[in-house]
Amino acid sequence: MDEERFFARLRAGDPQAQKELIQTFNPRIFVYFRNRIKGESSYEDLVQEVFSAFFHGLDQGKLAGADWIAPFIFGIARRVMYNYFYRQKKSNDIQKNICTQCELSSSFSEAERLDNEKLGQVLSGLIQKLPRIDREILDAFYFQERKIGEIADMTGRSPHYVSVRKERALKKIRAEISRKNLY
């Protein structure tokens, strides 16, 4: 993607560029909130607040260029998270702050769920193509929740070997997903 051209499209209010931005950062913001705020059943309002603030800031010329998009969104997400903790006992009225310059009617939670489902399917297919030993290691580590040392004992290999194989398998999967632009 030509970052600067993308930024120019965003500045011009191109709906397609806004959609691309949301698709890129929605999963990241979800992961951030999910790991930061426990016990919350839906982060949709918070995610919406982040995008709302982002487009508002963009409109006010707070972004200098394409390089600043990710740090800017991260900064907003962090602020939204702190605000959440600050007013978690109060009723928040985020809906009133929704930015009117951009269409934010999509369901972020549903998008996140579909996103995860798609990734799960892609992963299953790619894992099946791995050598059996790699599948055994991933299965033991993630599904049986065993530690590297236990897997080493189980497979009769050294912990270093198991660890390296696991990382290489993940790297291979990541490279394949990136190469085919599957996710």
Partner 1 sequence: MKCHEFQGLITAYLGETIEESRREQFEEHFFACRQCFLGLKINESLRNKGARIQLNDPPHLFTFKVLRPLLAMAALFLLVLFSALLVQRDRRAGQLRELARFDLPLYHQGEMRGEAESARGWEEQFSLAMRHYQERDFRAALDLFEGPVLSAADLPKAAFFRAICYLETDQLAGAEAIFDAIIRDMNPAYFDEACYYKGFIRLRQGRLPEARAQFAKLAGMLSPMAGKARDMIRKIDEL
Please give the residue ranges that form the binding site for partner 1 (CB under 8 A).
24-25, 27-28, 31-32, 35, 70-71, 73-74, 77-78, 116-117, 119-121, 123-124, 127-128, 132, 135-136, 138-139, 141-143, 167, 170, 173-174, 177-178, 183
Of the two residues 14 and 117, which places its CB atom closer to partner 1 in the complex? 117
Alpha helices in 60-158 (DSSP H): 69-86, 108-128, 132-138, 148-155
Minimum distance from residue 152 beta carbon to partner 1 (Å): 16
Of the two residues 93 and 145, which places its CB atom closer to partner 1 in the complex? 145
Of the two residues 139 and 153, which places its CB atom closer to partner 1 in the complex? 139
Minimum distance from residue 139 beta carbon to partner 1 (Å): 4
Taking CA atoms, 178 is separated from 63, 110, 138, in Å, by 28, 23, 20
Of the two residues 96 and 132, which places its CB atom closer to partner 1 in the complex? 132
DSSP state letter for 129: T
Minimum distance from residue 46 beta carbon to partner 1 (Å): 14
Closest-CA residue to 98 (of 158, 130, 156, 53): 53
CB burial of 76-106 (b: ≥16 within 10 Å; e: otherwise) equals bbeebbeebeeeeeeeeeeeeeebeebebee
Minimum distance from residue 174 beta carbon to partner 1 (Å): 5
